[in-house]
Structures are given as C-alpha cells and as structure tokens.
Structure 1
Amino acid sequence: MTLSKIAPKVTLGLFVVAVSASAVAPASTATVPHEPRNIKPSHGARSIKSSLDARSIKFTSKRLKGGLIECASENPGLAAFLTRDIAKSLKNRASKASVVLYDRTTHTSCAYGADKHYDSASIVKPIILGALLLDRGVHLSEEKKDLARQMIVSSDNDATYTLWDSVGPKNIQNFLDKAGMKNTVLDEAGFMGLTQVTARDQAKLLELLTAKDNSVLNAEERTYILGLMRDVQKDQRWGTPAAAPSDAAVQVKNGWLQRSETGLKNSWDRGDWKVNSMSAITGRAYDYGLVVLTENNRVPEGESPEVGWDYGMDTVEGVAKAIHHDLYPDHTPPATGNPSL
C-alpha cells in the first residue's frame, strides 16, 4: 500500500481490531413488548436500525471498563450470549475498542462504544466511492473505474487521493448527510485517513449498501461498491471476516494507521496504532454487518512497530469469532477465543 499524501509521520493501511476492557459486571436482561420501528433500549443499541418485527425483543447489557455492551434480539438467549462473549473477548485487552453489530435475519443488534470517534484510516474509502457514485452514477470512465478498484481492492492511497480530490469534500459531505452519517467528520486539512468515524456510522454505511432502499444509492451503485469489497485482495481480508460462515459472501474493508514512527519516545501517541475493520455478510439467509474500531494498540519499547498492529488485529478477530459463532454456530468453526488472552 502506498503512503503518499499523509501528514508527517502518519501511515495508513488496512484495519484490524483491539479494545479496552476489564471489570466485567454480570449481565442484566429484560424483555419488553415490541413496538415496530420504535424500539428504545438504552443509548448503545437503540439506533441500530435492523428491522425488529417479533412480538418481543430481549435486551441485555454488560458493563465493561469504559462503557456498556448492549444487545437486543428476538431470539431467546442470543442477546445474552452475545453480551457475554463480546465481554469475554475484550475484558483483558489493553487497547480501546468499539463494536457495532446488526443482523436483519435474526433481528439482533449489539453496540459497545458506538459513538466514540476514531481515525478512519482506510475504512473511509467506501465513503469516498459512495460519494463518487452519488455525484456521477455508476457509468464511470475506465480511468475512474480503475482508480476505484485500486482504492477498495488493494487499498491504494494514491488512487484514493486522486478520487478524493476529484469528488471533493463538498460532495463527500453531501453523501454523509444523505446517508445519515451525522457523526463522521472530514479532516479539515484534507487527510482522508484522519476522517473521524464512529462504529455506529460505519454500520449505517453497511446497512445502506445492503438494503433495498434507493433513496441514497440505487441498486446498481450499491452492488458496484459491494462487488469491490467482496474482491478485496486475500492478504487484506483479516479482521471482522475471521470465522464468518463459510457459505456466506463477505464484503470487507479494513484500515490501519500509526500516528508516528517514533514509538514510546513520542509523548503524543507513543506508537499508538489504530486498527479498524468492517464487513457485510450476505448470501443465502445471511444479512448482517459488523464493525470493530480500535486504538491505543501500543508498541512496547524495543519492539518492532508491527507488534501494535498485530495486537489490534488479534483483538478484532477475537470479537469477530465470538460474534459469528454465536449468530450461526452450525456454519462457523468453534470460537477459540483471543489468542493473547
């Protein structure tokens, strides 16, 4: 991946996850009558807009240092399993993390730190492509199509900045507004990877791309973006796809960023890696999305920079494995937990 047009001592790349945790409290549960399109659980889960049309929805929560894991599901026991296993995957991690899940098939949603801002790194790239298609439609020039493929499939930063400059911040903001991604903030200096994103907004993007609503992008445009995310090259398909159902279609975009290369000598970030991952899981009966954002993946003094990146990736994949297995245990390998726990 190229690293041009990035702020001094900032590198960009693909995303993987790490999180904060400890002091897990017992889960609390409650069953409430369902009111179509007016579900109001506590802050985290209430705006995960999967369609919940069962007679009752079960809500569970589990407190983790730094926030509350909240899940809602019409499937008895599933919400409790998810809150428990998300907490298990995060409780011993030193980093900070946010998680958002929606599943239209099982009518399930989960949120942890959903509105915390993170540097986007490369997960901003589907946003740029969405803005391009909203502005110009799917019938792009061959040059633009080639740049779009490089941007998504191989996460090329030079191609990304060419499209970023071509589309322009005004059109990108217009896409964000139409998509309801109100908490996503473009970097004023124009560094695409320093766009401030939240797990909730990125989940909104996945929902937009996989829905049948043509109000922002039409079916052809949505299919175009998902097709490129499905073609992401093999060495960049880690993170949230880990242990996804083997018979599913997996559309992924990852991102990683290290604020500096000076490690612990830099008092600003001490080699802090930001590792992010997002996936839409579709095909057959699957219709769900998962976003995991992480930061504070530190590089111990004397260690190579990749240690922080690996730590983030391990955390993301620990969360992903637990979630995929809880949702579809008959179609995923057994959850083995996080290798560093």
Structure 2
Amino acid sequence: MESSRARRRRRARARRRRSLFCTALAAAVVAGGTATGTVYLRERAHADADAVSSASSVTPSASASSSQEASVEPAAEPSMDRDALLKRAMASVAVEDTADAAVAVLSMDSGESAAYGDGTFDTASIVKVDILAALLLQAQDAGRHLTVQEKAYATAMIENSDNASASQLWTAIGGADGLDSANKRFGLTDTVGGEGALWGLTQTTAADQLTLLRQVFEDDSQLSGASRSFLRGLMGDIAEDQRWGVSAAADGSAWALKNGWLARSTTRLWDVNSIGRVTAGGRDFLVAALSDGNSTKEKGISVVEAAARAAVAVFG
C-alpha cells in the first residue's frame, strides 16, 4: 500500500508536468502567433511596396505620356491679318489727291482673302462681265443656249469692250432690274445697276467684284460649267491694247481679265477699273482693283496695276 508521502510526491510531479506542459503550450501559441504575424506583416509590406512601386511606375509613365501628348500637339499657327498687310502695301501706291482706290484679292489655293477700301465706284466697262453672267444665268433658267447673235455680242463686248454690243445685251437681260436680280443670286450685296441705258454707271465695290469673279472662276457657282468656261475663255482673249490692269501682277500671259475706263463729263476725271484672275508664283488669285478721280486714264491704269501687284504680294 502506497504511503501518504509517496502519494504527495506523485501528485507534485504531476502538477509540475502539467505546469511545464501549459507553459510550453503557451510559449508555442505565442511563438506561433508571432511567426504568423511576422509572415502577415512581411507579406503586407511586400504587397504595399509592390503597390507603391506599381503606383510610382504608373504615375511617371502617365506623366510622360501626358507630356508626350502635349509635346506632339501641333502649336496653333498665329493668324495673319491680311487686311492689315494690304493696307500697309497700299500706302506705297501713288494715288492722287483727287482720286480714290480700292482692291480685293482672293487666293484660290488657300481661300484666304484681303481687302482695302470699302467705297463705291462706277463700274465703267467691267460691268460687262456682270451683264454676260446675268444673260447666261437667264438662259440656264430658260433651259436654252445663247443664240448665235448673243454669242457674237458677248464676244465683242468682252474681248473688244464694244459698247454697242453691251447695250444690246443690257436690254436683253432687262436692264438694271435684270442685273440686280442676277446679282442677288450671285451674292453681290452692294452693286446697283445703272439707271436706264447707263450700264456703265452701275455702282459697285471691290468686295462685290471679287464675289462676281468667284462665280466665274470657282466651281461653287450659280453658273454652269459651260457658262463659266465660255466667260473665262473670252476674258482670256482680250484685245492686245487692253491687256493691262490686274494682269500686271501675273507671270507672263497667265491671266483672264476685263478692264473698264470712263472719263466723267462733269469733272473730266477718270474711273479706271480692272478685274480678273492672275497666276503668280504658281498660284492663282482673283483680283478686283477699282479707282476714280484720276487725272488721266494712264494715271488710273498705273494705280490699278500697282494695287493688283500689292494685293498679290500680300500672299508672298
């Protein structure tokens, strides 16, 4: 039989073993928890580092992309004030104190235009282009071609500036009413037909004459291709003694024009005008140069030629 002392020793040893076991277990749990926490923190740190690294690598890339996009975006070209350039160029054109001048130009290549002077001038014979354009428009509306006689009048009126032929066709279109009606469709806003038979005293502006030239020389027109071709052909075959005016701005014979000149009976001063298409430096331009109050026809010719050259020079 086990003595009481032996039992006490056995229970004491059991308590020590349980205590050691619990301590070891607690240590293992703590150690395990610490290891798990360390692994978690390390993984979290790596993940955060990767996120930061990723964010860092994306941000500069986005910035670089934005920078690249900004750098390749074409810079806006500064707008050029062609009117101001033309005004400066016209300052060198010798215009008499009694005279006035205006000029308008359109680059057919770029579509840019410039104008100097907005006054109203007598057309003199440049209205003959407008008369023929009105006749051609009326014929188109009627679905017919020009008659042989109308073509003969038109040829003499444009190529030789024949006044009698102009009077015949002025009557045929209905005079000022017919001209004004056609011009409304052509887009002319400041041109008024002369009273009665006085077609040469039709009032116009350089800007309106440029609009008329666009109807003759551009495809976007009220005139058909055949009508435009007919008118252009006549303007390109002007009588030799009338090959002055805007043609002064052209390279050689690369032009199509119509001139007008008129001595006013009351003042004896001259209206001298020139309109047409010129080719200079491989580019095509429409030019309308108008003047009045000139002391002589020759002086007026000098003014419109200088104005035409100045207008074309604005485009380089």
Pairwise same-fold verdict (TM > 0.5): yes
Alignment check: 8 A CA contact 1:186 1:194 kept:
yes
2:103 to 99, 107, 110: 99
Higher relative contact order, structure no. (Cα contacts within 8 Å, ≥ 6 residues apart): 1
Q: Given that residues 105 and 285 in structure 1 are in contact (C-alpha distance below 8 angstroms), is that contact kept between their aligned partners in structure 2?
A: no
Compared CA separation, residues 243 and 59, structure 1 to 2 (3 A): closer
Deviations 1:183-217 (A, max 9, x none): 11112233110111111100101112111114x11
Superposed displacement of residue 107, structure 1: 4.4
Q: Which position in structure 1 is the counterpart of 2:81?
A: 59
Give the length in aligned residue pairs: 237
Task: State how 1:27-106 maps to structure 2 within 5 Å.
Answer: 56-59=78-81, 70-71=83-84, 80=85, 82-90=86-94, 94-106=98-110
Structure 1 match to 2:302: 314
| Bigger mean CA deviation after superposition, 103-112 or 281-290 | 281-290
Query: Greater CA radius of gyration, 1 or 2?
Result: 2
SS at 1:281 equivalent: strand
The aligned residue for residue 193 of structure 1 is 200
Cα distance in 2 for residues equivalent to 1:105 and 1:93: 36
Maintained 8 Å contact 2:288/2:308: no
Residue 216 (structure 2) pairs with residue 209 (structure 1): yes
CA distance in 2, matches of 1:219, 1:150: 21
- Amino acid across the alignment from 2:255: V
1:121 aligns with 124
Q: Report what 1:20 is aligned to.
A: none
1:230 CA displacement: 0.6
Q: Which piece of structure 1 moves more, 92-101 or 146-155? A: 92-101
1:252 aligned to 248, 254, 257, which one? 257
- Superimposed CA distance per residue, residues 157-204 of structure 1 (whole angstroms, 9 cap, x where no aligned partner): 001111111121333222111011121111223311011111110010
Tell me by how many angstroms 1:282 deviates. 5.1
Q: Which runs of 5+ in 1 are unaligned?
A: 1-53, 61-69, 72-79, 261-268, 299-307, 329-341
Provide the identity percentage.
35
Q: Which has the higher strand share?
A: 1
Q: 2:173 aligned with 1:167, yes or no?
A: yes
CA distance in 2, matches of 1:95, 1:173: 27
Cα pair 2:87 2:116 within 8 Å, conserved: no
**Cα distance in 1, alignment partners of residues 186 and 77 from structure 2:** 29
TM-fit CA distance, 1:319: 2.0
CA apart distance, 1:227: 0.8
By percentage of residues, which structure has more helix?
Answer: 2
1:84/1:235 CA distance change after superposition, 3 Å:
same
Contact 1:245 1:324 in 2 (8 A): no
Q: Secondary structure at the match of 2:246?
A: coil
**Deviation per residue, 1:76-106 (Å, 9 max, x gap):** xxxx4x4432221246765211111111324
- Corresponding residue for residue 294 of structure 2: 297
Residue equivalent to 2:162: 156
Q: Name the CA shift for 1:124/1:156 in 2 (closer, same or farther; >3 Å).
A: same
- Residues 90 and 319 in structure 1, CA contact (< 8 A), matched pair in contact too: no
Distance in 2 separating the partners of 1:184 and 1:143: 28
Q: Per the alignment, do residues 134 and 89 of structure 1 end up closer, same or farther by CA in structure 2, a change over 3 Å counting?
A: same
Distance 1:154 1:213 in 2: 28
Alignment of 1:324-339 (within 5 A): 324-325=312-313, 327=315
Could you state the TM-score of these two structures normalised by the residue count of structure 1? 0.64
Asked whether 1:270 is paired with 2:270, we answer no
Quote the Cα distance in structure 2 between the aligned partners of 1:207 and 1:90.
28
Name the SS for the 2:192 alignment partner.
Answer: coil
SS at match of 2:248: coil
Which one of the candidate residues 269, 275, 280 is aligned to 2:277? 280
TM-score of the pair, normalised by structure 2: 0.69
